[in-house]
């Protein structure tokens, strides 16, 4: 029967090829959307790993996650340095990473932190930060830049940059009295780290010396030779990451920080906040899935229509099958087998098209959108869509198959 089906399809190769192309494109869209969705969610959740608690001023947990991890938005308030020291001195805390945000450079956010950032920060499957060149900062006026910053702005180790007050793409208030020297460039991570400029907390304090009520007083502003720079100590921080000795202590410490008496603070579990944030932006993901399924459905209906419209020109062919002893059920299963063959080929071709496309654009997607995509889709959802499309094709083809079955019962050699 398979040989007969393939011969019949070859005899109608023009219309079959067009239908196959339509189905292949539809399958590629469905597979591509599902693969990007799963990979984007995976990359999103893997933005930060190994952190037990994220602490900041009291706000919503989504807002705290956005400004501290994704560098989107602003903090409602800062944390006093005395509060930071009190929290990290509690028993059970293995390490801490303070963050200080609020400045930028040509649209890229500046993050003030300590050397612990390069030692303890993890992303993906507990991947550490690695240097593509240079080393971490060792002076208040040193900076370490992310891979995207270096690539887009053409910066290299040893160059000097001037930070700006505020986070706009264009700033009219620059800290040009204290230029920073780039000492290191990080390898690409596919996370917001790539678009961040890292400086020390002392560097953040330095560029704000001489500021009063949000205005820079030139007479009080230091230069790079000012001896005060070596004695600077942080006075506040925006947020902090905490790693604990035992995961069992997370909820107790979270409750203590949320009820901290000295100032209103909030501690969240990053994994829980990431899941909540993904649910919020998942509406667009669901919409794309619905659109891709509708496109595939239209192509499957086109397949059924093609087979139905070809029955008139195949009437003589089907009558000959009956004349040589084929049962009416043979005709029904022949039509079904043709639909199965076309859809299965379209599914395989669509998969190969998507795989080839991602293999060719992997580096571009990672560099342009910080999206790490595997070249070979392999999620259960993709196999489910492929199997579902083949099953739907078999069901929809029952219409032309039943028409051919009924006609074959009475036609025999009529019209031959």
| The two three-digit tokens of residue 371, written as one number | 């999206």
| HEC-encoded secondary structure of 244-306 | ECCHHHHHHHHHHHHCCCCCCEEEECHHHHHHHHHHHHHHHHHHHHHHHHHHHHHHHHHHHHH
State both tokens at 3: 């040989």
pLDDT band of residue 81 (cuts 50, 70, 90) is very high
Q: What is the 3-state secondary structure (H, E, C) of 146-180?
A: CHHHHHHHCCCCCCEECCEECCCCCCCCECCCCCE
pLDDT at 416: 43
Band of residue 413 on the pLDDT scale cut at 50, 70, 90: very low
Give per-residue pLDDT as tens, 160-206.
999 987 765 555 577 778 899 999 999 988 889 999 999 999 999 88
Higher pLDDT, 183 or 212: 183
Look at residue 412 in the predicted model and tell me its pLDDT. 46
Does residue 218 register a pLDDT over 70? no
C-alpha 27/C-alpha 384 separation (Å) is 12
pLDDT at 209 over 60: yes
Angle between the N-to-C axes of helices 328-369 and 270-309, in degrees from 0 to 180, rounded to the nearest 10 = 140
The arithmetic mean of pLDDT across residues 324-333, rounded, is 75
**Residue 415 pLDDT class (50, 70, 90 cuts):** very low
Whether the predicted model's global pTM rises above the 0.75 cut: no
Q: Is the pLDDT of residue 334 over 90?
A: no
pLDDT at residue 196, as a whole number: 95
pLDDT tens digits, 244-294 = 999 889 999 999 999 999 999 999 999 888 888 877 777 777 888 888 899
N-terminal to C-terminal alpha carbon distance within the chain = 23
pLDDT of 74 reads 85
Whether the predicted pLDDT of 116 surpasses 90: yes
**Averaged over 3-28, what is the pLDDT?**
86
pLDDT of residue 252: 94
244 closest CA partner among 267, 214, 261, 227? 267
Binned at pLDDT 50, 70 and 90, residue 408 comes out as low
Question: What per-residue confidence (pLDDT) applies to 310?
Answer: 80
CB atoms near residue 29 (< 10 Å): 20
- State the average pLDDT for the chain: 85
- For residue 369, report the phi and psi dihedrals to the nearest 5 degrees: -125, 5
With helix as H, strand as E and coil as C, how does the chain read? Answer: CHHHHHHHHHHCHHHHHHHHHHHHHHHHHHHHHHHHHHHHHHHHHCCCECCCEEEEECCCHHHHHHHHHCCCCCCCCCEEHHHHHHHHCCCCEEEEEEEEEEEEECCEEEEEECCHHHHHCEECCCEECCEEEECCCCCCCEEEECHHHHHHHCCCCCCEECCEECCCCCCCCECCCCCEEEEEEECCCCCHHHHEEEEEHHHHHHHCCCEECCEECHHHCCCCCCHHHHHCCCCEECEEEEEECCHHHHHHHHHHHHCCCCCCEEEECHHHHHHHHHHHHHHHHHHHHHHHHHHHHHHHHHHHHHHHHCCCCCHHHHHHHHHCCCCHHHHHHHHHHHHHHHHHHHHHHHHHHHHHHHHHHHHHHHHHHCCCCCCCCCCHHHHHHHHHHHHHHHHHCHHHHHHHHHHHHHHCCCCC
Please report, for residues 82, 97, 257, the alpha-carbon distance to residue 68 in angstroms, rounded to integers and kept in the order given.
Answer: 20, 11, 17
pLDDT of residue 23: 93
- Alpha-carbon gap, residue 413 to 292, rounded angstroms: 44
| Residues 22-70: tens digit of each pLDDT | 999 999 999 998 888 888 777 777 788 899 999 999 999 989 998 999 8
Which residue has better confidence, 325 or 18?
18
* pLDDT of residue 108 exceeding 80: yes
Q: Kindly indicate the confidence band of residue 371, based on its pLDDT and cuts at 50, 70 and 90.
A: low
More confident residue, 138 or 408: 138
């Amino acid at each position: 029967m398979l040989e007969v089906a393939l011969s019949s399809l070859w005899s109608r190769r023009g219309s079959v090829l067009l239908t196959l192309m339509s189905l292949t494109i539809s399958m590629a869209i469905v597979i591509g959307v599902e693969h990007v969705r799963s990979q984007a969610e995976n990359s999103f959740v893997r933005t930060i790993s190994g952190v037990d608690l994220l602490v900041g001023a009291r706000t919503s947990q989504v807002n705290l996650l956005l400004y501290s991890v994704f560098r989107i938005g602003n903090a409602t308030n800062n944390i006093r340095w005395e509060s930071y020291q009190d929290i990290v001195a509690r028993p059970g805390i293995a390490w801490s990473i303070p963050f200080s945000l609020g400045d930028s450079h040509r649209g890229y956010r500046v993050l003030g932190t300590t050397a612990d950032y390069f030692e303890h920060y993890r992303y993906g499957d507990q991947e550490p930060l690695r240097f593509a060149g240079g080393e971490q900062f060792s002076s208040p006026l040193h900076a370490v830049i992310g891979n995207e910053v270096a690539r887009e702005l053409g910066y290299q180790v040893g160059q000097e940059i001037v930070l700006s007050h505020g986070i706009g793409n264009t700033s009219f208030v620059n800290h040009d009295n204290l230029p920073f020297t780039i000492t290191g460039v990080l390898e690409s991570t596919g996370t917001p780290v790539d678009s961040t400029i890292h400086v020390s907390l002392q560097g953040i304090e330095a560029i704000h010396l001489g500021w009063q009520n949000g205005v820079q007083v030139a007479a009080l502003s230091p230069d790079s030779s000012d001896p005060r720079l070596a004695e600077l100590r942080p006075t506040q921080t925006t947020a902090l990451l905490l790693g604990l000795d035992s995961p069992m202590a997370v909820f107790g410490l979270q409750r203590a920080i949320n009820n901290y008496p000295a100032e209103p603070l909030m501690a969240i579990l990053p994994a829980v906040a990431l899941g909540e944030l993904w649910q919020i932006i998942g509406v667009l993901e669901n919409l794309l899935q619905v659109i891709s399924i509708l496109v595939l459905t239209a192509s499957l209906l086109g397949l059924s229509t093609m087979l139905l419209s070809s029955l008139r020109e195949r009437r003589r062919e089907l009558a000959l099958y009956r004349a040589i002893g084929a049962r009416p059920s043979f005709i029904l299963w022949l039509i079904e087998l043709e639909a199965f063959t076309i859809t299965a080929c379209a599914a395989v071709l669509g998969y190969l098209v998507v795989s080839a496309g991602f293999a060719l654009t992997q580096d571009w997607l990672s560099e342009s959108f910080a999206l790490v995509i595997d070249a070979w889709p392999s999620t259960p959802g993709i196999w489910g869509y492929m199997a579902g499309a083949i099953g739907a094709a078999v069901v929809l083809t029952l219409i032309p198959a039943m028409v051919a079955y009924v006609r074959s019962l009475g036609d025999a050699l009529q019209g031959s």
